Amino acid sequence: MRQQAHCASSTLASHFRSLDAVRYASRQEFEAIPGIGPKMSRAIRDFFADERNQRAIEALLKAGVQVIEPRAPKEQPLGGKTFVFTGALDRFPRSEARKRVESLGARVSSSVSRDTDYVVVGTDPGQKWHAAREQDVKMLTESQFIALLREAGAMTRREKGGSNDGERRNRPCT
């Protein structure tokens, strides 16, 4: 659940762009966001409705903590596209792949759906590979994905990517 909460918090920050907008949003508003379902929306709404959490947030704000709105990227060559990753990537960690596509305006989902534009297939892909085949979603090899990143300006020709040691243990948001 912690990992889901981390991913959801990034999604909420990007969507609502202010703490107050998130604090006072309805479950229906949460569920309208791709990747946020009924269970997650209920958990978020319950968190902000809890009196202890309200007091803690108010205390932080009164103490001078400033909530900075996330910046929207200037160029979004992958804006509106949805990516799903399956299997381990060899060139860099999936967390880095996620950051790169998000910096280009795309979003990353943990499951394949009719809204998925690309499934990036690494080593030892799982169920998402099967789902992509069944739903006829475009699949990219890691090399094709890197070419797409280069074309979109998120990677230079000289950049090779790092090792993904430990990535199999910590796969964020997918």
Q: Where in the chain is the domain with CATH 1.10.150.20?
A: 2-62
Alpha carbon distance 1, 72 (integer Å): 27
| pLDDT tens-digit series, residues 63-103 | 988 877 666 546 688 988 999 999 999 988 888 898 889 88
Contact 115, 34 (CB under 8 A): yes
Q: Where in the chain is the domain with CATH 3.40.50.10190?
A: 82-152
Q: What is the mean pLDDT of residues 47-59?
A: 93
pLDDT-derived band at 54 (thresholds 50, 70, 90) equals: very high
Looking at domain 82-152, which of 3.40.50.1000, 3.40.50.2000, 1.20.1250.20, 3.40.50.10190 is its CATH number?
3.40.50.10190
32-62 b/e (C-beta count within 10 Å ≥ 16 → b): ebebbeeebbebbbeeeeeeeeeeebeeeee
pLDDT-derived band at 163 (thresholds 50, 70, 90) equals: very low
The pLDDT of residue 158: 56
pTM attached to this predicted model: 0.54
The pLDDT of residue 76: 81
Instruction: Among 8-17, 94-103, 134-143, name the most confident range.
Output: 134-143
Please state which CATH number belongs to domain 2-62.
Answer: 1.10.150.20
Q: What is the mean pLDDT of residues 18-37?
A: 84
Alpha carbon distance 34, 109 (integer Å): 8
